[in-house]
Amino acid sequence: MPPKADLIAVFNAGSSSIKFALCAASPDEALRARGEIEGLGAEPRLTVRSAGGATLIERAWPAGGLDHHAATRTILSIMDGLEAGASVVGVGHRVVHGGTRYAAPVRIDAAVLQALTELVPLAPLHQPHNLAPIRAIAAHAPALPQVACFDTAFHRGQASVVQAFALPRALSGEGIRRYGFHGLSYEYIVSRMREIAPALAGARLIIAHLGNGASLCAVAGGRSVATTMGFTAVDGLMMGTRTGTIDPGVILYLMDRHGMDVRAVENLIYRESGLLGVSGIASDMRTLRASSDPNAAEAIALFVHRIVCEIGSLAAALGGVDGLVFTAGIGENDAATRAEVCAGCAWLGLALDGARNRKGGGRISTDGSRIEAWVVPTDEERMIARQTLRLIPQA
Ligand code: ADP
């Protein structure tokens, strides 16, 4: 019998849920299990599934039965018990914001935790929840190495002009600049492209991460050159419930004429807009595709229009495009959105192969297309496990 591998735990904590994954602490970071505790703050429910998708554990708690700290301890003890003889030797966390300081993953100590806490004002809806499991593990298992993996880090090598807003210098100096997000997904896609299309991986790519949150990233030579999300994750593309880029004059008008305060505007631009707001039906692409309501069609048309326009902008930032890669829930699964986006990119020299696109997976452009189009599934948990593995001492 080969010795049991050590394990890396991956945490992705949000306001009401903690997603987690368990990977082998070996160079292939093989997935062993993944799961989620949902309903934190309400009636928490836990599900753990095997790598193959079979349900391994289900549990529920009464209302208020579990906070983020207790949930973290529960997840860790379940992970430790999943494979006899194997134990968790390191924990990687998805942390949305690394500010200007963290351009790479970092081992967490008290000073790092303090620095990450100081970034809470830059991402008040996400950062505090990302940090909660870190604190819980530091208190509960202080010897367990923890690593913070950032959504912003991949973009930190962009030229300074790309990261700047046209604001007075004092405000830019305070950190009001473009950061960009979804960096773990983009870095994973670049690493996959190196394996499946090495020549393209080093060329000029636009990666379209189209999920509930959606953004595009221009990548040259494997590095981020520009991206559509900015100071926050509400910028850029239209999303499930977020506006994406909006004339700031609209916000001023709403505050002035509708008496909206900060929280009301926040709710509007993060939770009530996007596909949900325009369709008046749902934020979920599957529901909109299945609907015959013209408002659903209009929401999808606007979603696609914004993607096509932003691809044009990123093509300019790159000075040309060699490949377009679709990923995340919509990008990986919705052939119709891919076809509509590619039709809008015909002027760039992109020719879609309809049959390949309907099949999905791999290259979906024609053999003669000047620009290649690909579908590549993302795996942010695996990227976090990989980054964590690099920074922990043994394994
Ligand atoms: P998140 O940003 O929450 O991780 P996902 O990457 O899971 O989001 O993407 C969720 C989106 O993917 C939803 O709009 C959903 O409708 C869409 N999606 C998932 N599967 C399909 C499918 N088979 N066809 C069309 N859209 C899909």
Instruction: Please write the tens of the pLDDT for every residue from 183-215.
Output: 999 999 999 999 999 999 999 999 999 999 999
Same domain, 274 and 372: yes
CA 284–ligand 1 middle distance (angstroms): 7
Q: Examine the fold and report which residue of 93, 124, 150 is the final residue of a domain before the chain moves on.
A: 150
Residue 219, phi-psi category: left (phi > 0), alpha (psi -120 to 50), beta (remainder) = beta
* pLDDT value for 279: 98
Top mutation candidate among 185, 238, 285, 375 for ligand 1, by most atoms within 8 Å of CB: 285
Same domain, 59 and 128: yes
* 157 inside domain: no
**156 pLDDT more than 80:** yes
Same domain, 275 and 211: yes
Task: Summarize pLDDT for 173-188 with one digit per residue, the tens.
Answer: 999 999 999 999 999 9
* 240 inside domain: yes
* 113 inside domain: yes
Q: Examine the fold and report which residue of 150, 179, 209 is the final residue of a domain before the chain moves on.
A: 150
**If you average pLDDT over residues 126-146, what whole number do you get?**
95
Q: Whose CA is nearest to atom 3 of ligand 1?
A: 212
* 20 inside domain: yes
Same domain, 333 and 253: yes
Model confidence at 395, pLDDT cuts 50, 70, 90, reads very low
Average pLDDT of the chain is: 95
Task: Summarize pLDDT for 117-130 with one digit per residue, the tens.
Answer: 999 999 988 999 99
Same domain, 67 and 205: no
* 394 inside domain: no
Same domain, 373 and 249: yes
Q: Could you give the number of structural domains in the chain?
A: 2
* 172 inside domain: no
Same domain, 207 and 143: no
CA 78–ligand 1 middle distance (angstroms): 28
Here the CATH number for the domain that contains residue 311 is 3.30.420.40
Q: How many angstroms separate the Cα of 96 from the Cα of each of 126, 131, 161, 180, 246?
A: 7, 10, 22, 10, 22
Same domain, 340 and 209: yes
CA 384–ligand 1 middle distance (angstroms): 21
Q: Examine the fold and report which residue of 114, 129, 150 is the final residue of a domain before the chain moves on.
A: 150
**394 pLDDT more than 90:** no
**If you average pLDDT over residues 230-252, what whole number do you get?**
97
Same domain, 207 and 145: no
Top mutation candidate among 281, 334, 337, 341 for ligand 1, by most atoms within 8 Å of CB: 334
Please tell me whether the overall predicted TM-score, pTM, comes out greater than 0.75 for this model: yes
Exactly one of 80, 109, 151, 334 is catalytic; which is it?
Answer: 151
* 174 inside domain: no
Same domain, 243 and 304: yes
CA 336–ligand 1 middle distance (angstroms): 13
CA 42–ligand 1 middle distance (angstroms): 24
State which residues form the domain around 88: 5-150
Same domain, 134 and 271: no
Same domain, 277 and 339: yes
Question: When comparing pLDDT for 87 and 284, which is higher?
Answer: 284
Top mutation candidate among 189, 276, 333, 340 for ligand 1, by most atoms within 8 Å of CB: 333
* 176 inside domain: no
Task: Summarize pLDDT for 313-365 with one digit per residue, the tens.
Answer: 999 999 999 999 999 999 999 999 999 999 999 999 999 999 999 999 899 99
Active site residue 67: no
Q: Whose CA is nearest to atom 4 of ligand 1?
A: 211
Rounded distance between C-alpha atoms, residue 377 and residue 240, angstroms: 19
**135 pLDDT more than 50:** yes
